[in-house]
Amino acid sequence: MQDVKINSSNDSQQRNFQYLAGKATCLTQNKEFKDYLMKWSMKGRIFCQCFSFDCQFKVHSAQEFIEDFFKDNVIVSNLQTVSDNTGEPVALCEKASSVSLEPVPCTHTTMDLFGRLADEVIRDDGQIKRCFDEWIDEVQISDNLRQMLLNEDSEAYLLYDEPERNEFLFRLLLHFAIGGRLCQFEDSIHPYLDIVKALYKDLITVQKDPETRKLQVISHVYKVVAKDDKPFYPQLQQHLHFRLPVDPLKRLAVLTI
């Protein structure tokens, strides 16, 4: 990704944004999920902020849209980042001088992507298969799920190719399964899949294709780095990134860290 300095927008559209402070997700509404986040050392390190916009979203103008997003006064006054010291959300109150973005593939409408975890990674009852401990990128690898996610030399890693690993749905599983620095890992795959499914449903909009009658994703997801002198959302760990799903139908953008 290349940084693009924020000057005047090339798109003549006037964009106005509104912060939807009361818009909740499963991460704040579901008590069981909140307990999981605490157990996985992710409380405060993953959160969503929802904003609405009053213009038509056009994919070819995504750069201009996101530039306007990060220099809008409503956005700037409500943006939060993660504190380097405490790991808790704190007010940002800064405008971005540059923004770089990268489209994130988001095509799945079901959880079928994870069906192939059977046998190699999990048992019939959903229990995750254990392995000898090792460390990769400061993450303890003690089971086949983390082998599949991080160990490029393992057989489990071969279950998914790079395009599949780049999918937003897969990145959510990676995010939760690796967790924070003091993560207590689960013995079963079900808690991870439950929270991934619920959050994916909160963030992504699907609709039925009028010709094929099949569901398709209409949201667009972007990996974004916005910064002034330093990144607004520093990557606390290699697998953590800031993403912005944009729903052109409902006209919603959700900052997801």
Crossing angle of helices 190-203 and 168-178, in 10° steps, is 130
Instruction: Give the pair of three-digit tokens for residue 139.
Output: 């993450």
Domain membership flag for residue 214 = no
The range of the structural domain enclosing residue 12 comes to 4-104+220-256
Q: How far apart are the first and last CA of the chain?
A: 18
Same domain, 26 and 94: yes
Burial 73-91 (b: 16+ CB within 10 A, else e): eebbebbbbbeeeebebee
CB of 20 closer than 8 Å to CB of 51: yes
Q: Nearest to residue 47, comparing CAs of 76, 90, 99?
A: 90
Same domain, 23 and 57: yes
Domain membership flag for residue 77 = yes
Distance CA 230, CA 202 (A): 30
Burial 212-232 (b: 16+ CB within 10 A, else e): eeeeebbbbbbbbbbbeeeeb
Q: Assign residue 138 a region: left if phi > 0, alpha if psi is -120 to 50, beta otherwise? A: left
pLDDT classification of 110: cutoffs 50, 70, 90? very high
Same domain, 80 and 158: no
Question: Among residues 203, 229, 245, which one ends one of the domains?
Answer: 203
Same domain, 68 and 146: no
Number of residues assigned to the chain: 257
Same domain, 117 and 100: no
Domain membership flag for residue 210 = no
* Tens-digit pLDDT profile for residues 158-170: 999 999 999 999 9
Position 235 scores a pLDDT of: 45
* Tens-digit pLDDT profile for residues 149-204: 999 999 999 999 999 999 999 999 999 999 988 899 999 999 999 999 999 999 99
Domain membership flag for residue 212 = no
Domain membership flag for residue 61 = yes
Same domain, 62 and 188: no
* Tens-digit pLDDT profile for residues 225-242: 866 555 555 444 444 457
Q: H helices then E strands: how many in the chain?
A: 8, 13
Same domain, 121 and 99: no
Position 80 scores a pLDDT of: 80
| Alpha-carbon distances, residue 38 vs 83, 101, 245 (angstroms) | 17, 30, 25
Instruction: Give the pair of three-digit tokens for residue 99.
Output: 């923004």
Same domain, 86 and 160: no
Domain membership flag for residue 88 = yes
Same domain, 49 and 75: yes
Please report where in the chains the tokens 């069981």 appear, as a residue. 32
Strand-pair partners of 243? 223, 256
Distance CA 218, CA 207 (A): 7
Domain count, the chain: 2
Same domain, 100 and 224: yes
Domain membership flag for residue 208 = no
Same domain, 119 and 94: no
What is the model's pTM?
Answer: 0.87
Same domain, 120 and 196: yes
* Tens-digit pLDDT profile for residues 25-79: 999 899 999 999 999 999 877 889 999 999 999 999 999 999 999 889 999 899 8
Strand-pair partners of 206? 217
Domain membership flag for residue 62 = yes
Position 12 scores a pLDDT of: 57
